[in-house]
Amino acid sequence: MLPTTHVIPGLILKSHRFNLPLDYANPSKKISVFARELVAPGKENADLPYLVFFQGGPGSGSPRPGGASGWIKRALSEFRVLLLDQRGTGASTPITAQTLRHLSTPEAQADYVQHFRADNIVRDAEAIRKALIGERQWSILGQSFGGFCAMNYLSFAPEGLKEVLITGGIPSLTGTADDVYRATYPRVIAKNRRYYERYPDDVQRVRDIVQYLSDNDVQMPGGGRLTVQRFLQLGISFGMSDGFEAVHYLVEDAFVETPQGREMNRNFLSGIEHAQSFDTHPIYTLLQEACYTQASTSDWSAERLLGEFPAFNHGDDGPILFTGEMVYPWMMEVYPQLKPLKAAAELLAKKSDWSMLYDVERLQKNRVLVAAAVYYDDMYVHREFSEETARIVPNMKLWVTSEYEHNGLRLDGEAILDRLLKMARGDL
């Protein structure tokens, strides 16, 4: 299919679609992978290098730009930008409960979904690179999970890379899912403490909501029930600079008074649905823990380890803690679009023969320039793991900062990308 081109103020956009193997070891079955190329007006015929963006997630498509702003504005001054919809996301062949319905058994669903980790995302990127520019190198920018993809790229196809830029996404090279959650649960507890320090009235508000949900069957506008556990998953936003406010403004409008008495505010319920994307992005639930599994099983790590942190128990006094970005098996019963995938999720959680995501020996010989922003108090990607990886991998420069939270690239991307490029090129 020939690329299509659109022009909006400040941007020329070209859409690419590639038919690539679902399984590179058995390439007969194909999927479609979409990428959107951006270039500044007047530079469409220039011989510019590419900067490829790897989105966070897993399971989220690339940004849909409305103009040249943020990190894209800085990038377009010297690059063509390629926004990659990682396999299974966005305009690529999607993974949803609806699309997986044609697979007749949970085993078939699990077998299909297992091919949507970082290793195959990188294989897709390499195939796209060769299709677009042959053996020339390109630069990549990875945000959060996109940084995990970047480290996989450095492990298995560094010859395609000129420079690597990472924001909030340097993983442990050897840590298990258990290691990750033992490190991140305490961070979530600390974020909860800060939330309630900022909004002390929410201690009682949250307790009132939890009590109401315990006593009543509250149905969500889009289907399914709002359980206590689902409500407390709002804490996933606590690692963002505006996350406390997002939760607080929901919590303070949780109830309305009616002639029949106190009821849950429908706007509150709609706000929760808008804040939670587990139904619309099932890859996140199905493969979140698989981001950390190498020749091992995750076995619902976050659920197993939760008991090690009694602060999350709902006692009679004190604040009730929200959880973070963890996924749990009960979600397969609560979220309507996850219910049909329950058996497949169980198979993936028990899978032990996952491929290796990182080649430590090869990374110890890394020659590609890497510049990374590491957020000091990152709730999602443990800073100490990132620093440990940087000690293993040569030619990696870290900018450890408390100026930003995990969403720094979204908020101040022009400045962050500019600094990373200067770091990679020895100007800082």
Which residues are the active-site residues? 144, 353, 406
CA dihedral 419, 420, 424, 425 (to 10 degrees): -30
Specify the 3-state DSSP secondary structure of 275: helix
| Pairing of the two strands 50-54 and 80-85 | parallel
Closest CA to 331 of 226, 238, 247: 226
Residue 298: CB partners within 8 Å, gap ≥ 6?
176, 177, 289, 290, 292, 349
Alpha-carbon distance of 228 to 297, in angstroms, equals 28
106-113 vs 342-350: helix axis angle to the nearest 10?
60
The burial class, CB within 10 Å (0-12 / 13-18 / 19+), for 2 is exposed
DSSP-derived letter for residue 225 is: B
Cβ–Cβ under 8 Å, residues 374 and 398: yes
Q: Which amino acid is at 199?
A: Y
Which residues, listed in sequence order, are joined to residue 31 by a DSSP beta bridge?
A: 20
Give the start-end residues of each E strand in 9-102.
11-21, 30-39, 50-54, 80-85
Comparing C-alpha atoms, which of 331, 329, 375 is closest to residue 191? 375
**What value does the CA radius of gyration of the chain take, rounded to a whole number of Å?**
22
Please give the order of strands across the beta sheet that includes 138-143: 4-8, 11-21, 30-39, 80-85, 50-54, 138-143, 161-167, 369-375, 396-401
Please state whether the peptide bond connecting residue 58 to the residue before it is cis, i.e. omega within 30 degrees of 0: yes
Instruction: Report the C-alpha gap between 19 and 170 in whole angstroms.
Output: 30
In degrees and rounded to multiples of 5, residue 159 shows phi and psi of -65, -20
Q: Tell me phi and psi for residue 38, to 5 degrees.
A: -115, 140
CA distances from 80 to 1, 49, 72 (A): 21, 6, 10
